[in-house]
């Protein structure tokens, strides 16, 4: 390289001084600054730069990694760069200024390649960084607003749509609702399943034109009117005429569409009307699915009529009602009707996704949605409502020895019967606890009775009616801490409780509706809540080697309550040592167990030692603890 003349060197130095970015040149092991430019002096006003070491010039950056980076480049001869590093610099007036710099520190070498010093070049990108921060803050604000809006919409839809679908003898019903993917506005799709006074069920899928709160509100009005008419025993044409009158008065309800099917679960006979709505899909137990013939009914409020057709749903067959969002998807193929029929048939037969816990009607709803929208998404709300005819579950009849040891087996038999009927985990939990309390009472209080009878049947209204009968006289309970809460707990759990003492024994009757929850889907990977399995009682120490921190799994009932009480008092030294008890794995918390926990809690208050009860949200123990007013934590 040519050596510049003295005049050229001066011109070069002047040119470097005018560079619009920061330049600082340092030399030797101490990195003595031998050159800088005007941009550097502007960033470091009032500082003497040339003739001092980098560490002296930039002493206020000692903890901000820059000084270490300069020395690392000198030591290794490797370039270090950074993008939008935040810098705090001391100002001449004593304040601290903030800037952002994008920089490169490169080795300055001798002719032989040895490192002579370090050259630093940096751009002040503070304004760019501020813009980035503002954009990120706005994006975060919009994200939070979207999530809040989505939560409100989810809550709105949950309130306007049925909380659950009835479980009937010989029929299993399921539904799924998927909010529109295109925006966060509420939709006007709806579904319903209404038991009629004559033992049939009305299945409804409807669609209000448009989106937004107005569409949701109109949907709620249409659903309420239709439900009231069906509850009162109106036929299909009469019920649709009532909502048609409403659509004629409410502008936003104009041209809403409805598919209404009235089905007899026993015989399978059905009648239906498609008021401007796509015809239902009939999925056989074996073979090819087919769409029912449309009835040529007109959309609501348009002045048309509502012809009714008949048909039959055979044993094992499934009827699927849906809204047109499932057909009018962005990723739909050339024949979306055939595609829906094919995917729904595979889901019903269990040939799609593996989900052995789901009933076929649920698979038809949730898996059909997931498989159809996962490639191209969906621009509109989608509602699916499925009903499958199944063999009616026979009544439950248990003849139990009047001994506490029979409680565990009876719980398992009750759970198996309810599962066969199609009951959801929540109702299995309720009826297991209620009938367990009544059976415990019958065993403990009956004199002379050698057995206790537990009977249950599913009524055509979707209500379980169950009785617990003993054949002995009544005796007052001994004063024990695990007594006296069973009937009160049962009454809180079920819809109704009646106890009728008689000369030949006592009959306790409970009634409770079975409802299978509909799925309002926001994600297809939401795992269903798993309830702990009922098995043997186990008490284990939590990690850490502290015997006063334990986990309990299995049932805490009349048989195991005494063991639990003994262990809790032993490990807590009679309530004088702080204790943590994780009840998340408790499968059954009977009144006997509640009494033990109340007693232990009271003793800890006397001993002034904390007692922490832990129960997972939605677990059986959490539900009971909330009912009886025992405080619990959600985590360790």
CA–CA gap between residue 633 and residue 636 (Å, rounded): 8
CA–CA gap between residue 532 and residue 108 (Å, rounded): 68
* Statement to judge: residues 267 and 370 lie in one domain: yes
Residue 592 has pLDDT above 60, yes or no: yes
Taking the CB of residue 53, how many other CB atoms lie within 10 A of it? 17
The number of domains in the chain is 5
pLDDT single digits (tens) 350-409: 888 888 778 899 999 999 988 888 766 666 788 999 999 999 999 999 999 988 899 999
Q: What CATH number has the domain bearing residue 92?
A: 3.30.450.20
Element (H, E) at 427: helix 425-445
CA–CA gap between residue 254 and residue 221 (Å, rounded): 13
**486 in a structural domain:** yes
Token code pair at residue 411: 């719980």
* Statement to judge: residues 344 and 401 lie in one domain: no
The CA distances from residue 590 to 434, 464, 621, 625, in Å, are 9, 21, 9, 10
Beta bridge partners of 502: 505
* Statement to judge: residues 287 and 231 lie in one domain: yes
Alpha carbon dihedral 404, 406, 412, 414, in 10-degree steps, equals -90
How large is the average pLDDT for residues 283-293? 93
CA–CA gap between residue 591 and residue 477 (Å, rounded): 14
The answer for residues whose C-beta is within 8 angstroms of residue 467's C-beta and 6 or more apart is: 453, 454, 455, 456, 507, 508, 509, 510
Residue 286 has pLDDT above 50, yes or no: yes
pLDDT value of residue 53: 95
**Strand 579-589 vs strand 549-556: parallel, antiparallel, or unpaired?**
parallel
Residue bearing tokens 């334990």: 550
The answer for residues whose C-beta is within 8 angstroms of residue 113's C-beta and 6 or more apart is: none
Burial classification of residue 291, based on how many CB atoms lie within 10 Å of its CB (0-12 exposed, 13-18 middle, 19 or more buried): middle
**2 in a structural domain:** no
Q: What are phi and psi of 202, to 5 degrees?
A: -100, 125
* Statement to judge: residues 339 and 479 lie in one domain: no
CA–CA gap between residue 221 and residue 317 (Å, rounded): 32
* Statement to judge: residues 546 and 563 lie in one domain: yes
C-alpha triplet 465, 432, 357: angle, nearest 5°: 100
Beta bridge partners of 633: 614
HSE toward the beta carbon, residue 13, CA cutoff 13 A: 11
Quick one: three-class SS letters along 232-284? CCCCHHHHHHHHHHHHHHCHHHCCCEEEEEEECCCCCEEEEEEECCCCCEEEC
How large is the average pLDDT for residues 455-473? 90
Contact 449/393 with Cβ under 8 angstroms?
no
* Statement to judge: residues 475 and 373 lie in one domain: no
Beta bridge partners of 191: 205
pLDDT value of residue 330: 74
pLDDT single digits (tens) 146-199: 666 666 666 666 667 887 899 999 999 999 988 765 444 556 788 999 999 888
Taking the CB of residue 154, how many other CB atoms lie within 10 A of it? 17
The sign of the torsion formed by the CA atoms of 482, 483, 484, 488 equals positive
Of 212-221, 315-324, 459-468, 482-491, least confident by mean pLDDT is 482-491
pLDDT single digits (tens) 119-145: 999 999 999 999 988 998 888 888 787
**10 in a structural domain:** no
Q: What CATH number has the domain bearing residue 616?
A: 3.30.750.24
**9 in a structural domain:** no
Contact 560/554 with Cβ under 8 angstroms?
yes
CA–CA gap between residue 617 and residue 68 (Å, rounded): 50
CA–CA gap between residue 355 and residue 524 (Å, rounded): 13
pLDDT single digits (tens) 331-355: 777 889 999 999 999 999 888 888 8
Q: What are phi and psi of 492, to 5 degrees?
A: -75, -25
The answer for residues whose C-beta is within 8 angstroms of residue 75's C-beta and 6 or more apart is: none
Residue 526 has pLDDT above 70, yes or no: no
Contact 242/145 with Cβ under 8 angstroms?
no
* Statement to judge: residues 279 and 342 lie in one domain: yes
Contact 569/575 with Cβ under 8 angstroms?
yes
Residue 200 has pLDDT above 70, yes or no: yes
pLDDT value of residue 357: 77
Mean pLDDT computed over every residue of the chain? 87
Token code pair at residue 589: 């918390």
Q: Which residue, 389, 417, 435, sits at the end of a domain?
A: 389
Alpha carbon dihedral 339, 340, 346, 350, in 10-degree steps, equals 150
CA–CA gap between residue 390 and residue 393 (Å, rounded): 9
The sign of the torsion formed by the CA atoms of 238, 240, 246, 247 equals negative
Contact 615/621 with Cβ under 8 angstroms?
yes
Residue bearing tokens 């299993």: 172
The answer for residues whose C-beta is within 8 angstroms of residue 266's C-beta and 6 or more apart is: 169, 170, 199, 392
**411 in a structural domain:** yes
- Give the residue numbers spanning the domain of 578: 531-628
Residue 597 has pLDDT above 90, yes or no: yes
CA–CA gap between residue 42 and residue 544 (Å, rounded): 59
Of 97-106, 302-311, 516-525, least confident by mean pLDDT is 516-525
Q: Which residue, 459, 494, 517, sits at the end of a domain?
A: 517
Beta bridge partners of 271: 262, 310
pLDDT single digits (tens) 29-53: 999 999 999 999 999 998 999 999 9
pLDDT value of residue 603: 92
Question: Closest Cα partner for 260 from 202, 325, 199, 326?
Answer: 202
Q: What CATH number has the domain bearing residue 416?
A: 3.30.565.10
pTM above 0.85, yes or no: no
Contact 287/329 with Cβ under 8 angstroms?
no
**139 in a structural domain:** yes
Sheet holding 96-109, edge to edge: 32-36, 22-27, 115-124, 96-109, 80-90
Q: What CATH number has the domain bearing residue 193?
A: 3.60.40.10
* Statement to judge: residues 135 and 113 lie in one domain: no
pLDDT value of residue 295: 95
Contact 396/455 with Cβ under 8 angstroms?
yes
CA–CA gap between residue 476 and residue 529 (Å, rounded): 40
pLDDT value of residue 142: 83
- CA 263 distance to own-chain centroid: 32
Burial classification of residue 214, based on how many CB atoms lie within 10 Å of its CB (0-12 exposed, 13-18 middle, 19 or more buried): middle
* Statement to judge: residues 318 and 172 lie in one domain: yes
* Statement to judge: residues 292 and 155 lie in one domain: no
Residue 525 has pLDDT above 60, yes or no: no
**5 in a structural domain:** no
Burial classification of residue 518, based on how many CB atoms lie within 10 Å of its CB (0-12 exposed, 13-18 middle, 19 or more buried): buried
Element (H, E) at 574: none
The CA distances from residue 269 to 280, 309, 344, in Å, are 15, 11, 22
Question: Closest Cα partner for 341 from 380, 293, 287?
Answer: 287
Token code pair at residue 597: 């926990």
Contact 424/411 with Cβ under 8 angstroms?
no
**634 in a structural domain:** no
Residue 553 has pLDDT above 80, yes or no: yes
pLDDT value of residue 3: 47
* Statement to judge: residues 65 and 88 lie in one domain: yes
Q: Which residue, 517, 550, 567, sits at the end of a domain?
A: 517
Tell me if residue 302 falls in helix, strand or coil: coil
Token code pair at residue 393: 């579950």
Residue 212 has pLDDT above 70, yes or no: no
* Statement to judge: residues 169 and 307 lie in one domain: yes
């Amino acid at each position: 390289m040519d050596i510049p003349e003295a005049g050229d060197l001066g011109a070069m130095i002047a040119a470097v001084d005018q560079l619009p970015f920061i330049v600082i040149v340092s030399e030797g092991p101490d990195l003595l600054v031998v050159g800088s430019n005007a941009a550097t002096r502007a960033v470091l006003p009032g500082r003497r730069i040339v003739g001092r070491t980098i560490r002296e010039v930039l002493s206020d950056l000692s903890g901000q990694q820059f000084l270490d980076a300069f020395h690392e480049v000198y030591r290794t001869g490797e370039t270090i760069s950074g993008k939008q590093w935040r810098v705090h610099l001391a100002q001449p007036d004593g304040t601290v200024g903030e800037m952002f710099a994008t920089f490169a520190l490169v080795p300055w070498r001798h002719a032989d390649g040895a490192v002579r010093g370090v050259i630093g070049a940096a751009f002040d990108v503070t304004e760019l960084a501020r813009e980035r921060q503002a954009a990120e803050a706005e994006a975060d604000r919009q994200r939070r607003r979207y999530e809040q809006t989505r939560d409100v919409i989810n809550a709105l839809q949950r309130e306007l749509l049925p909380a659950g679908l009835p479980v009937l003898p010989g029929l299993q019903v399921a539904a799924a609702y998927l909010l529109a993917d295109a925006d966060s506005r509420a939709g006007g799709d709806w579904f319903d399943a209404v038991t009629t006074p004559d033992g049939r069920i009305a299945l409804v899928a409807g669609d209000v034109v448009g989106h937004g709160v107005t569409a949701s509100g109109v949907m709620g009005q249409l659903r309420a009117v239709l439900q009231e008419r069906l509850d009162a025993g109106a036929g299909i044409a009469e019920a649709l005429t009532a909502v048609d009158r409403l659509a004629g008065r409410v502008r936003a309800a104009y041209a809403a569409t409805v598919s209404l099917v009235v089905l007899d679960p026993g015989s399978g006979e059905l009648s239906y009307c498609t008021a401007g709505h796509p015809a239902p899909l009939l999925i056989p137990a074996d073979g090819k699915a087919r769409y029912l013939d449309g009835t040529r009914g007109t959309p609501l409020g348009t002045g048309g009529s509502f012809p009714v057709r008949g048909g039959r749903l055979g044993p094992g067959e499934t009827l699927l009602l849906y809204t047109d969002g499932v057909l009018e998807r962005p990723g739909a193929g050339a024949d979306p009707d055939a595609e829906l029929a094919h995917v729904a048939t595979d889901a019903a037969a269990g040939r799609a996704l593996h989900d052995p816990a789901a009933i076929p009607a649920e698979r038809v709803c949730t898996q059909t949605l997931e498989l159809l929208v996962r490639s191209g998404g969906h621009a509109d709300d989608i509602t699916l409502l499925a009903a499958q005819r199944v063999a009616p579950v026979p009544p439950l009849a248990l003849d139990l020895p009047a001994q506490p040891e029979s409680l565990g087996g009876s719980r398992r038999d009750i759970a198996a019967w309810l599962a066969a009927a199609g009951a959801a985990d929540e109702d299995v939990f309720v009826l297991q606890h209620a009938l367990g309390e009544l059976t415990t009472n019958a065993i403990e209080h009956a004199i002379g009775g050698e057995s206790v009878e537990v009977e249950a049947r599913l009524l055509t209204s979707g209500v379980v009616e169950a009785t617990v009968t003993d054949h002995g006289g009544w005796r007052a309970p001994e004063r024990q801490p695990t007594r006296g809460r069973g009937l009160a707990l049962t009454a809180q759990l079920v819809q109704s409780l009646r106890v009728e003492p008689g000369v030949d024994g006592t009959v306790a009757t409970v009634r409770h509706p079975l409802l299978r929850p509909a799925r309002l889907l926001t994600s297809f990977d939401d795992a269903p809540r798993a309830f702990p399995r009922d098995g043997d009682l186990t008490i284990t120490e939590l990690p850490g080697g502290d015997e006063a921190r334990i986990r309990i799994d299995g049932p805490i009932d009349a048989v195991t309550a005494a063991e639990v009480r003994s262990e809790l008092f032993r490990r807590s030294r009679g309530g004088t040592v702080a204790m943590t008890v994780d009840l998340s794995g408790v499968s059954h918390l009977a009144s006997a167990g509640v009494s033990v926990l109340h007693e232990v809690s009271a003793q800890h208050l006397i001993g002034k030692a904390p007692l922490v009860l832990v129960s997972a949200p939605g677990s059986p123990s959490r539900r009971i603890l909330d009912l009886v007013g025992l405080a619990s934590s959600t985590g360790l």
